[in-house]
Amino acid sequence: MINPENKLAEIKNLIQLSSSCRGKVFGEFVRDVIVPKSSSVSCNQISIWFTSENDCKDFVFKAKISFNFLQIEKRVYALYCNATHTIFVKLFVSKYLPVNDFDVNCLTYYYYDGDFFFGREILTIKPELLIESIKNKNFLMFHNYGKNLDDNRIKKINSEYLEKGWKMRYNGSIFSERLTSESII
């Protein structure tokens, strides 16, 4: 089994490479590994956002040279850390950060000039507040996402958040127990 510190080092090297191509990591990996400073790296997915197709292509080209990095499907790659552990890397190309669900997924992480930094792409949310929300296991569900809840979204909220002790804010209410389709109405 791969040493967690070695796996995290491999992932940090990938983040450095993505940052050199103007990519920023966001979502689950930032929320569940980077902010809590977890060395267990239980997360098996990294989402990387680029604002241009050329930057994304440049990253993929360099990653294939530098890592055991293979395409699984369009914009989804596997980073093979060893024979038994794989990290899936999802690539997004969009002018704006492609987050429409929860505020804590808007925190970005990138490497610049010899150090790692947190950023934000939604101007009304400060990185420090997002970090504090993640540490306190609190999140805000965006209104448009909540308006269109289906069974898959409810399952995601329950399994990724509420069952792990998070509290969700939505429409002035706080939810900490397992959601059902009736509990949000």
- Entry pTM: 0.90
The per-residue pLDDT for range 113-140, each reduced to its tens digit, is: 888 999 877 767 889 999 999 999 999 9
Hey, where are the domains in the chain? 4-130, 137-175
- Residue 33 is classified by DSSP as I
In a 3-state reduction of DSSP, which class is residue 78?
strand
Indicate whether 162 pLDDT > 70: yes
Give the closest residue to 175 by CA, choosing from 132, 140, 126.
140
| pLDDT given for residue 4 in this prediction | 53
Amino acid at 109: Y
Q: In degrees rounded to 5, what are phi and psi of residue 24?
A: -130, 135
Q: Which residues contact 39 (CB under 8 A, 6 or more apart)?
A: 4, 5, 8
The per-residue pLDDT for range 8-37, each reduced to its tens digit, is: 788 889 999 999 999 999 999 999 889 988
In a 3-state reduction of DSSP, which class is residue 86?
strand
- Residue 175 is classified by DSSP as E
Topology of domain 4-130 in CATH is Beta Polymerase; domain 2 (3.30.460)
